[in-house]
Structures are given as C-alpha cells and as structure tokens.
Amino acid sequence: MEPVSSKVQRSTETVYDIASDLVKKLQDAGQTLGVAESLTAGGVMAAITSVSGASTMFRGGVVSYATPLKEKLLGVDGELIALEGVIHADVAKQMAEGARRITNIDGDETTWGIGTTGVAGPGTQDNKPVGMVYIGIAGPSGTRAWGPFNFPGAREQIREATVIEALHRLREAQSHTTS
C-alpha cells in the first residue's frame, strides 16, 4: 500500500488553503471541475465550495455512497464491481470519468473529474482494510488513479486525509497541464 503522502504529512496547509489555491488555479486557467465521492461523502465538494467564487469553476457532483449509484449515475462497470468490489483503482478512475461526463453543460466539457473510494471504517468492506483509499483524477490528458493509500486513524481522520490527498493530486495534475 502507498503510505500517506509525504506532502500531506509535512504540509502546514489547511484544507481551505489547498482548496483556495486549487480554485484560483482552475479559475485562472478557465477550467472546470466535477466530483464523484463515496467515502468522503461530499467532503471534497464542501472544501471546494467553501471558497468564495468557486461557482465559476465548480460544476457539481455526486455522492455515490450506494454501489448501484456508481453504476447507474457514474457508469462504473458492474462487472468490475462484481469482480473487485468498489474499493479499487479502476473504480476510482471510472468515478472520476463519470464525474466529468455528468457535469458537462450543453456540450461544454468539464475539464477535471475527481473520484474517491475507500474504507473509512469502523469495519472492513469487501475484505478491504479500514484506511484503504483510491483517488481517481480524470482530465484533458487522460485518467489516473492513486493508491491504495493506507490512511491511519478514525473514520473522520481517514475521510479528511482523503479530501486533502484528492485536492493535492488534482492540484498537481492541473499544474502539469498548464506549465
């Protein structure tokens, strides 16, 4: 498993600081964002929309807590879920792609999508341990997943670590498309 990101461990930035920086970068680039969340249950969307002016770049999102919503709303492959469960890198990628797709507006494609899936606890899920997390980012250059992360702590600590990591990963991916 991938350890908790050294960026997260050493960072003195708050969730709001990271979200503010990301919102500004996306606004400056004229880029937009859609989000699909499972274990974070809206935490990524809450972080983004806590920033004044986020409405210029944030299109919306889905909390697909129930497995059937991942398939029906986001287009996650049901066979993949049947084989691997929902805690999987490819599920995170397909969630991110689904977030981009469902937030397109009148033919205007959403630039970025985030997908989060994992086990916040207190118990295991699909034989996956508490703290196992995958993050998907879909963007102009394709889709990538990170993980599995092994975030330590209680439920809320795992969820917050996932939000921070997702924002960091999008900020990193976005910086590579504009440099």
Query: How buried is residue 55: exposed, middle or buried, by Cβ count under 10 Å (0-12/13-18/19+)?
Result: exposed
- Per the structure, how many domains does the chain have? 1
Domain of 25, CATH number, reads 3.90.950.20
The reported pLDDT for the residue numbered 10 is 41
User: Residue 62 domain-assigned?
Assistant: yes
47 belongs to a structural domain: yes
Residue ranges making up the domain that contains 87: 15-178
- Tell me what pLDDT residue 1 has: 52
pTM of the model: 0.93
Per-residue pLDDT of the chain (179 residues; tens, 9 = 90+): 554 543 444 468 999 999 999 999 999 999 999 999 999 999 999 999 999 999 999 999 999 999 999 999 999 999 999 999 999 999 999 999 999 999 999 999 999 999 999 999 999 999 999 999 999 999 999 999 999 999 999 999 999 999 999 999 999 999 988 64
Domain annotation covers residue 10: no
pLDDT of 178 reads 64
Read off the amino acid at residue 131: G
